[in-house]
Amino acid sequence: MNLSALLCEKFKLKALSLLCAAFLWLFVTMEGTDELELPLAVGFVNAPEGTVVRADSLPKLSVTVSGTRILLLRQKFRGAVARLDLAGALPGTVEFVALERYVRLESGLRPLRVSPRNVSIILEKTSPAGTR
């Protein structure tokens, strides 16, 4: 029996078996765990009235995330955000340590490390021009 005849025999079943195997591979691969480094965006909450974070005081941050590949893919689309709470902060330098604690991720994912791990930001009073 030549190769083409061998392939043509029960072709539908063979093609579907291949498709099934490919989907199974994709599924198993996506269910496997991995690590992914993502740029970390920072959002500030509860900033005291009349203060603003100096834009150039924040370094470029990245976070390494661990979890299933499918969730990592989803997180990659959504991006990673750390919410820093400025409640009670006074104008000047404010230091945040162990930034992993502030990273918000999809359930099932966990932040392994943030680089840099600690950041200092400068909180400035807003200029009085615009105020009465």
Residue 51, Cβ neighbours under 10 Å: how many?
17
* Cβ–Cβ under 8 Å, residues 95 and 118: yes
Query: Torsion over CA of 84, 88, 90 and 91, rounded to 10 degrees?
Result: 50
37-76 mask for another protein (x: CB under 8 A)?
-------------------------------x-xx-xx--
* Cβ–Cβ under 8 Å, residues 59 and 40: no
- Could you tell me the smallest distance in angstroms from the CB atom of residue 29 to another protein? 8
88-117 mask for another protein (x: CB under 8 A)?
------------------xx----------
Residue 2, Cβ neighbours under 10 Å: how many?
7
- Could you tell me the smallest distance in angstroms from the CB atom of residue 23 to another protein? 4
- Could you tell me the smallest distance in angstroms from the CB atom of residue 79 to another protein? 14
Identified binder of another protein from the candidate list 6, 7, 8, 21, rule CB under 8 A: 21
Identified binder of another protein from the candidate list 7, 8, 20, 90, rule CB under 8 A: 20
Distance between CA atoms of residues 104 and 82, nearest Å = 6
- Could you tell me the smallest distance in angstroms from the CB atom of residue 30 to another protein? 6
DSSP state, residue 28: H
Q: What is the distance, to the nearest Å, from the Cα of residue 1 to the centroid of all Cα atoms in its chain? A: 54
Residues lying near another protein in the complex (CB under 8 A): 10, 12-14, 16-27, 29-30, 68, 70-71, 73-74, 106-107
